[in-house]
Amino acid sequence: MFVPSTLKDIASALGYSTSTISRALRDTYEISPETKKIIREYAQKINYRPNPIAQSLKERRSKSIGVVVAEVANHYFSQAINGIESIAYDRGYHVIITQTHESYEREKINIQHLASRSVDGLLISLSAETSDTLHLQDLHQKGLPMVFFDRVTEDIITHKVIADNEKGAFEATEHLIHKGYKRIAHLTSSAHLSISVERLDGYKKALAKHHIPFEEAYVKYCPHGGMFYQETENAIKELMNLREKPDAIFVAGDRLSIDCLMVFKNLNIKTPADIAITGFSNSDVLDLMNPSLTSIRQPAFEMGQIATQMLLKVIESKYPVYDFEKKVLDTSLFVR
Amino acid sequence: MFVPSTLKDIASALGYSTSTISRALRDTYEISPETKKIIREYAQKINYRPNPIAQSLKERRSKSIGVVVAEVANHYFSQAINGIESIAYDRGYHVIITQTHESYEREKINIQHLASRSVDGLLISLSAETSDTLHLQDLHQKGLPMVFFDRVTEDIITHKVIADNEKGAFEATEHLIHKGYKRIAHLTSSAHLSISVERLDGYKKALAKHHIPFEEAYVKYCPHGGMFYQETENAIKELMNLREKPDAIFVAGDRLSIDCLMVFKNLNIKTPADIAITGFSNSDVLDLMNPSLTSIRQPAFEMGQIATQMLLKVIESKYPVYDFEKKVLDTSLFVR
DNA sequence: AATAAATACGCAATCGTTGCCGTACGTACT
DNA sequence: AGTACGTACGGCAACGATTGCGTATTTATT
């Protein structure tokens, strides 16, 4: 079986105590240079690595951070993860990624697992199904550092990183208005997600600015964030069956936008002839898509980086942190 | 700071020894039902969770498996990961995902980290840059269970799961031949990757079957597996600058296929007018793409599942395993 | 020469959990 | 009454690494 060598192995091989080995390898001043040399060369030879499990137990930290996202197949999240890793690896932290697949239950399980596994902190983007955050409040109040990104909650006072969703949504909607569309629908994720609220606000503000009345019937929610294709298709069908059919739609989510294009294709809805569309998406293949999608892109990589920097600051702070920040990054509109 | 409660806390609160607490919670027969009840209720009340770090140290296993893939943004890999998780979670294992971004150095670091972090086993798909596998042979011979999927190596005798790459490549190439193309190029990842070799074989066989001579100049390699856009663009440019320009191209990789379409778009190469294309891809948005891509799809989810089942079988085997299997799954051709 | 200080290392406890061994008390049997 | 066994629990060591404290030996200081 797989059994790596330990300090004790080196100690008995070389005739020193484990303390001496440990100190030699950690370069403590009390060990003579010659002894250090002997020990280090031997350790090198047998390719000794300290057991991180034992270190975690001793030092009560694991030098690892847990990440909770909806799904890695989502371009926004995979880019954010790359940002997270870019910082974490540099600082000597390991990254443990978990997916909720937009399920509240899965989110609870994953977070519980990560917490009990002694991650030093958590980077969280809430699942679409999550409306109450008691499972997180509990951990937070016990002192587990956490930073939210993208899908945040007001229930927990900590660092947060989001895109300027309201502005992004405003621009996307206004873009449709400028193109001459007047009956603009809005397809979004579940209602309790922060991004849904903010993007709805931006949508409403754009309508208001241009004196277009807001129609409740034009707003469709997908409680599972588009995890089920049928959810999206039903929403679109309902919109298309309205007496006053919308002539455009603003979609508030990466997966949702793509799914929407799928629905259009399957239902043979032409765009922009039947209905025009803009949507949030970080996909890097949008340029290849037909129909094309004018998109709002979030700075996912930077968001991951900033969230990680914030988290590490809290983790490595010697004193409890009470001063938290909500960082809002700009979005960009790509007209296609 | 975040400090969860321990057996000792319960013990001193209730006046028992830690051994008794431990046994009561693990439902050992030597503890009286009444004592068990008291202890369990208290544990429930304070929401006690055993510390997995301590358990790992004691039991010399972590109930977690490490996954090494090129990048999660690749649809093939994200689907495989979903398959991996679906099995692992059911069996009580945690999944730690790492990305190589096709870098050999990163692969070494990640694997070393996972191994020393006491994962119970490894699911590996090699990076495009990896040509020697000494870092893995070492761990394997020390007894760390590992299963390869997709990008495998012959250097290590263990379970492997791959798609029928040769057949997939054969079908993709033959599809182009049936369409009437005769000068068929082949764009592939780095030459030492198993999938590259197998797909090249399939390509050659299809040519041979239809008496089309194999042209070395028609085969272009991307040593970094398409991680750099320029690599792909240069390869395409070289093909298009040949005296006898190819009239079709078979692309052997998910990322590469998409990148190829990008290059076509950027260089204003029309397909199929200028050049026809087929490629390996597990993207689920291919139907939305323009130009469209006839694709060979691998059963990624199943591959992840099977690899995980194999790995768990080795991990949980009481005796050393010497009988290994190479499972080959069928691919499917989607004509677009 | 006597004392102080520096050098170089070992011992043992600790992190949280588990498991082997021991034992006090009670019950049953010959 | 004496032996045997079962019940219900406690003590202790161990997993691997770290660290405060102790100490033997050498070197420096007055």
pLDDT in tens, A64-79: 999 999 999 999 999 9
CA/C1' separation A10–D28 (Å) = 35
Query: In this predicted model, what pLDDT tens digit does every residue of B96-145 receive, in sequence order?
Result: 899 999 999 999 989 988 887 778 999 999 999 999 999 999 899 888 99
* Letter string b/e over residues B116-150, b meaning 16 or more CB atoms within 10 A of that residue's CB: bbbbbbbbbbbbbbbeebebbeebbeeebbbbbbb
| Residues 6 or more apart whose Cβ sits within 8 Å of residue A41 | none
The dihedral built from the CA positions of residue A208, A210, A211 and A212, taken in this order, carries a sign that is: negative
Nearest CA distance, B101 vs chain A (angstrom): 10
Residues in chain B: 336
Measured in angstroms, the CA of B298 and the nearest CA of chain A are apart by: 16
> Any idea which nucleotide's C1' is nearest the CA of A58?
C15
CA distances from A88 to A67, A150, A302, A308 (A): 11, 19, 13, 7
- In chain B, which stretches have pLDDT less than 50? none
A184 neighbors A176 (Cβ within 8 angstroms): yes
What is the distance in angstroms between the Cα of B117 and the nearest Cα belonging to chain A?
6
Does the CB of B13 fall within 7 Å of any strand D atom?
no
B313: CB partners within 8 A, 6+ apart: B321
Angle between helices A254-266 and A229-240 (to 10 degrees): 60
pLDDT tens digits, residue range B163-177? 999 999 999 999 999
Backbone torsion region of residue B316, taken as left when φ is above 0, otherwise alpha when ψ lies between -120 and 50, otherwise beta: alpha
Q: Give the pLDDT score at B142.
A: 84
DSSP B331: P
| Cβ neighbours around A3 below 10 Å, total | 10
Q: B257 CB contacts (<8 Å, ≥6 apart)?
A: B251, B277, B279, B280, B281, B283, B293, B295
Nearest chain B alpha carbon to A51: B116
What pLDDT shows up at residue A291? 83
Q: Please identify residues in chain B, positions 12-31, with a C-beta within 7 angstroms of any atom of strand C.
A: 18-19, 22-23, 25-26
> From the CA of A95, how many Å to the nearest CA of chain B?
8
Residues of B whose CB is below 8 A from A117 = 52-53, 94
Distance, Å, A57 CA → D12 C1' = 20
Q: In the numeric block, which tokens belong to residue A224?
A: 């599972």
Q: Stated in angstroms, how far is A16 CA from C11 C1'?
A: 13
The Cα B96–Cα A94 span in angstroms is 10
The radius of gyration computed from the CA coordinates of chain A, to the nearest angstrom, equals: 25
- Identify the closest residue of chain A to B143 by CA–CA distance: A2
Q: Distance (Å, rounded) from C-alpha A25 to C-alpha A27?
A: 5
Interatomic CA distance for residues A143 and A132, integer angstroms: 19
E-assigned strands of chain A? 64-69, 94-99, 121-124, 146-149, 160-163, 184-188, 219-221, 248-251, 276-280, 294-297, 326-329, 332-334
B1 touches strand C (CB under 7 A): no
The pLDDT value given to residue A114: 87
The answer to whether the beta carbon of residue A56 comes closer than 7 angstroms to any atom of strand D is no
Cβ atoms of A147 and A134 closer than 8 Å? no
Mean pLDDT by 10 residues, chain A (336 residues): 85 94 93 93 93 92 93 96 95 91 94 84 96 93 94 97 98 96 96 96 97 96 92 95 95 94 94 93 91 94 98 90 95 93
pLDDT recorded at residue B321: 87
Q: What is the pLDDT of residue A319?
A: 82
CA-based nearest residue in chain B for residue A1: B143
CA of A54 to C1' of C13 (A): 15
CB–CB contact B1 A261 (8 Å): no
> What's the pLDDT at A1?
60
CA distance A55 to A57: 5
Amino acid found at A170: F
In the Cβ-directed half-sphere of A151, how many Cα atoms lie within 13 Å? Answer: 26
* Coil, strand or helix at A163: strand
Amino acid at A145: P
Contacts of residue B66, defined as CB under 8 A and 6 or more positions apart, other chains included, come to B96, B98, B110, B111, B114, B115, B117, B119, B121, B122, B123
Percent above pLDDT 70 for chain B? 100
- What is the predicted pLDDT for the residue at A229? 93
3 state DSSP class of B293: coil
**Of residues B57, B79, B262, nearest to A53 (C-beta):** B57
How many CB atoms are closer than 10 A to CB B333?
15
Rounded mean pLDDT of chain A?
Answer: 94
- What is the residue whose two structure tokens read 């903010």? A198
Query: What length is written for chain A?
Result: 336
CB contact under 8 A, B54 and A57: yes
A290: number of CA atoms within 13 Å, CB side?
A: 9
In the block, tokens 């051709």 appear at B333
One-letter amino acid at A114 equals: L
* Rounded distance in angstroms from the CA atom of residue A98 to the C1' atom of nucleotide C24: 50
C-alpha radius of gyration, chain B, whole number: 25
Continuous H helices in chain B: 7-14, 18-25, 33-45, 52-59, 75-90, 104-116, 134-141, 165-178, 194-209, 229-240, 254-266, 300-316
**Which one of A73, A96, A144 has the shortest CB-CB distance to B2?**
A144
The whole-angstrom separation of Cα B119 and Cα A117 is: 13
In terms of Cβ atoms closer than 10 Å to its own Cβ (0-12, 13-18, 19+), residue B21 is: buried
Smallest Cβ distance to A262: which of B47, B142, B288? B288
pLDDT in the model for residue B44: 94
